[in-house]
Structure 1
Amino acid sequence: MKLLSTERTDISLLTSDHAENLQRYLLENRTNFAPFEPLRNDEYFTLDGISERIAYATADYEAKKCLLMVVTPKDEQSVIGSINFTNFMFGAFQACHLGFSIDHACQGQGLMHESLKQSITYVHERYGLHRIMANHLPDNFRSRKTLGSLGFVKEGYAKSYLKINGIWQDHVLNSLILPG
């Protein structure tokens, strides 16, 4: 289900219809993403494993806990990126976490910035969230630049924050405060 479009991309809710294209995306970027993600076993990349994660994400979406999306080139089906808004919190906090990735062949073209800008507006308008938090490894300059260009501000530094690529690693903590 397409949720929104930018000049060059379509952004859709992650559904079982995307399983094969998502698998291709993950496999083609496995080496590229490894330094920035938890260790992934082979099951993570199987169609069954992906379909199972999509089913869980669908249930969480329906419960208003998250919004997992895929980015495709305009009017195409191939996945070139993912945008995940997770850990929705309502009430006095009204916040979530943001994670994103883009195909190694599409880096440096502004596609993720374009897609994130529209997606953030969508999440703000649809869910009324006030704070979006996004964290990155200290040496992930691409993510830092992308987040900065979207108005995210560094709020802190967390030692030994997440186990990435098998090692507990520090992270830079960022947030974007939205009006309302």
Structure 2
Amino acid sequence: MSTIYLRYLIKEDAAALLDIKLRNRQFFQPFEPIRDESHFTLAVQEQEIAGGIEAAANDQSYTFGIFLQATDELIGRIALTGIARGPFQNAYLGYFVDRQHNGKGYATAAVSLCVEKAFSELGLHRVQAGVMPRNTASIRVLEKAGFRHEGLSQHYLKINGAWEDHEQFAITADS
């Protein structure tokens, strides 16, 4: 039995999501784009959740909260984005877990549950994720969840103000 579960985020989750982002702002910053101050407001979190609900309705992306089974506490977020259908059947995976819950296997469990949803419920064939080489904890999460390393993309994303290389990982339904 899993100690966490995933569910779609709803407007009522916005305050808890904002709390995680505010508490972890410095911890997350080395691995995220530079965000405008307005990002760290309840209104923007509500807008992002509403946008996620609309994107799911249009089969563009799916955003889930990561919740502790025992307390129903929101401890992170995981998303399948950039969904491509047709012959590709692919999505990009992104996630974060509140720092106070790191090292407990929750991220690995969330990735595994999300991949299961991607394949069984959404009919995707492939899920891929890019991780900066220095983010060894996230690389370990993907490896433990069964992702394979596919290579290095140089200057892949602008993170914290600099173009960063990313190691590329993927898993397929037939892996």
| TM-score bucket (shorter structure) | over 0.9
Instruction: Please state whether the residue corresponding to 2:74 is helix, strand or coil.
Output: coil
Instruction: Please state whether the residue corresponding to 1:156 is helix, strand or coil.
Output: strand
Instruction: Please state whether the residue corresponding to 2:121 is helix, strand or coil.
Output: helix
Aligned mates of 1:114, 1:59 — CA distance in 2: 26
Instruction: Please state whether the residue corresponding to 2:46 is helix, strand or coil.
Output: helix
The answer to whether the aligner puts 1:8 opposite 2:3 as a matched pair is yes
Please give the residue correspondences for 1:14-33 in structure 2 after superposition, counting only pairs within 5 Å: 14-33=9-28
Structure 2: gaps (5+ residues): none
Q: Paired residue for 1:3?
A: none
State TM-score, norm by structure 1. 0.93
Please give the residue correspondences for 1:23-62 in structure 2 after superposition, counting only pairs within 5 Å: 23-62=18-57
Tell whether the 8 Å contact from 2:156 to 2:164 is kept in structure 1 after alignment.
Answer: yes
Q: Paired residue for 2:80?
A: 85
Please give the residue correspondences for 1:134-153 in structure 2 after superposition, counting only pairs within 5 Å: 134-153=129-148
Tell whether the 8 Å contact from 2:111 to 2:142 is kept in structure 1 after alignment.
Answer: no
CA deviations 1:113-160 (Å, max 9, x no partner) are 112212211121111111101000011100111101111111111111
> How many positions carry a matched residue from both structures?
175
Look up the equivalent residue of 1:87 and give its one-letter code: G
Question: Could you tell which deviates more after superposition, 141-150 or 9-18?
Answer: 9-18
Look up the equivalent residue of 2:10 and give its one-letter code: T
Structure 1: gaps (5+ residues): 1-5
CA deviations 1:65-99 (Å, max 9, x no partner) are 11101111115343211111001111100000000
Aligned mates of 2:126, 2:148 — CA distance in 1: 11
Q: Paired residue for 1:101?
A: 96
Please give the residue correspondences for 1:155-174 in structure 2 after superposition, counting only pairs within 5 Å: 155-174=150-169
Tell whether the 8 Å contact from 1:83 to 1:99 is kept in structure 2 after alignment.
Answer: yes
CA deviations 1:38-75 (Å, max 9, x no partner) are 00121001001111111111111100111101111115
Q: Paired residue for 1:67?
A: 62
Instruction: Please state whether the residue corresponding to 1:127 is helix, strand or coil.
Output: coil
Kindly, what percent of the aligned residue pairs are identical?
29
Q: Paired residue for 2:122?
A: 127
Q: Report how far residue 179 of structure 1 moved.
A: 2.2
- Deviating 4+ runs (over 6 angstroms): none
Q: Report how far residue 100 of structure 1 moved.
A: 0.8
Alignment RMSD:
1.3
Tell whether the 8 Å contact from 2:132 to 2:165 is kept in structure 1 after alignment.
Answer: yes
Q: Paired residue for 2:105?
A: 110
Aligned mates of 2:65, 2:39 — CA distance in 1: 17
